[in-house]
Structure 1
Amino acid sequence: MSRDVARAAAQWLALLESGAATERDHAALQHWRDSHPQHEQTWQKAQTLRQRFSNLPPALAMASLDRPQPGRRAVLKRALGVAALVPTAWLISRQLPLEAWRADVRTATGERQRLPLADGASLQLNTATAVDVDLAQRHITLVDGELALNVPGAAAMTVYTRYGQLRVSQADVCVRQLAAGCRVSVLKGAVQVRDANGQVSTLRGGQQALLNATGLGASLPFDVLQLGWRDGVLTAQNQALGDFLRELERYRPGVLRWDPSLETLRVTGSFRLDDTDSVLGLLASTLGFEVHARTRYWVTLTAAGANA
Structure 2
Amino acid sequence: MLSSGQDRRRTAIREAAGWLALLESGAAGEREHQQLQEWRQAHAEHERAWQAALALQQRFAAVPSRLAMASLQPADRGRRTAMRQLLGLAVVVPTGWWLTQTLPLDAWTADLSTATGERRTLTLADGSLLQLNTATAVDLDPARRRLTLVQGELSLQVPSAEAMTLDTRFGVLTVRQAEVCVHQHDEGCDVRVVSGSVGVRPLKGLGLELGKGQQLRLSALGIGAIEPFSATLLSWRQGVLIAQDQPLGEFLEEFSRYRLGLLRWDPAVANLRVTGSFQLADTDRVLTLLAATLPLEVHWRTRFWVTLQPRTVSV
Q: Please, what TM-score do these two structures have when normalized by structure 2?
A: 0.71
Q: 2:136 aligns with which of 129, 132, 147?
A: 129
Q: 2:203 aligns with which of 179, 185, 196?
A: 196
C-alpha change, 1:251 and 1:85, in structure 2 (3 Å) is closer
Q: Considering only aligned residues, what root-mean-square deviation do their CA atoms show, in Å?
A: 2.5
1:65–1:81 contact (8 Å) kept in structure 2? no
Residues 16-55 of structure 1 mapped to structure 2, 5 A cutoff: none
Structure 1: distance between partners of 2:98 and 2:277: 34
Structure 2: distance between partners of 1:249 and 1:89: 14
In structure 1, what is the equivalent of residue 161 of structure 2? Answer: 154
Gaps of 5+ in 2: 1-24, 29-78
1:91 aligns to 2:108 (yes or no): no
1:176 aligns to 2:183 (yes or no): yes
Q: What's the CA shift for 1:152?
A: 1.8
Say how many residue pairs are matched. 241
1:206–1:221 contact (8 Å) kept in structure 2? yes
In structure 1, what is the equivalent of residue 297 of structure 2? Answer: 290
1:225 aligns to 2:192 (yes or no): no
Structure 1: distance between partners of 2:278 and 2:81: 33
Q: What's the CA shift for 1:60?
A: 3.2
Structure 1: distance between partners of 2:80 and 2:303: 19
1:257–1:299 contact (8 Å) kept in structure 2? yes
1:261 aligns to 2:268 (yes or no): yes
C-alpha change, 1:110 and 1:202, in structure 2 (3 Å) is same
Structure 2: distance between partners of 1:185 and 1:165: 14
Q: 1:216 aligns with which of 215, 218, 223?
A: 223
In structure 2, what is the equivalent of residue 237 of structure 1? Answer: 244
Q: Which amino acid aligns with 1:136?
A: A
Q: Which amino acid aligns with 1:209?
A: L
C-alpha change, 1:65 and 1:106, in structure 2 (3 Å) is farther
Listed one character per residue, the Cα deviations across residues 196-229 of structure 1 (whole Å, up to 9, x for unaligned) are: 1362211101111010112111101100111100
Q: Give the secondary structure class of the aligned counterpart of 2:177.
A: strand
1:300 aligns to 2:303 (yes or no): no
C-alpha change, 1:153 and 1:66, in structure 2 (3 Å) is same
Q: Give the secondary structure class of the aligned counterpart of 2:126.
A: helix
Q: Which amino acid aligns with 1:241?
A: L
Q: What's the CA shift for 1:176?
A: 0.5
2:159–2:177 contact (8 Å) kept in structure 1? yes
Gaps of 5+ in 1: 1-57, 70-76
C-alpha change, 1:89 and 1:107, in structure 2 (3 Å) is closer
C-alpha change, 1:114 and 1:85, in structure 2 (3 Å) is closer
Q: What's the CA shift for 1:288?
A: 2.4
Q: Give the secondary structure class of the aligned counterpart of 1:277.
A: helix
Q: 2:27 aligns with which of 60, 63, 75?
A: 60
In structure 2, what is the equivalent of residue 187 of structure 1? Answer: 194
Listed one character per residue, the Cα deviations across residues 55-88 of structure 1 (whole Å, up to 9, x for unaligned) are: xxx753996985538xxxxxxx7445445555x4
Residues 84-123 of structure 1 mapped to structure 2, 5 A cutoff: 84=94, 88=97, 91-92=100-101, 96-123=103-130
Structure 2: distance between partners of 1:63 and 1:147: 41
C-alpha change, 1:167 and 1:298, in structure 2 (3 Å) is same
Tell which structure's C-alpha radius of gyration is larger.
2
C-alpha change, 1:85 and 1:184, in structure 2 (3 Å) is closer
Percent of paired sites with the same residue = 54
Q: 2:284 aligns with which of 240, 258, 277?
A: 277
Listed one character per residue, the Cα deviations across residues 244-291 of structure 1 (whole Å, up to 9, x for unaligned) are: 111111000111111111100001111111001111111110012111
Q: Which amino acid aligns with 2:100?
A: L
Range with bigger deviation, 124-133 or 150-159: 150-159
Q: Which amino acid aligns with 1:60?
A: A
Q: Give the secondary structure class of the aligned counterpart of 2:281.
A: coil
C-alpha change, 1:298 and 1:152, in structure 2 (3 Å) is same
1:252 aligns to 2:219 (yes or no): no
2:165–2:174 contact (8 Å) kept in structure 1? yes
Q: Give the secondary structure class of the aligned counterpart of 1:142.
A: strand
C-alpha change, 1:153 and 1:248, in structure 2 (3 Å) is same
1:123–1:148 contact (8 Å) kept in structure 2? yes
Structure 1: distance between partners of 2:196 and 2:213: 9
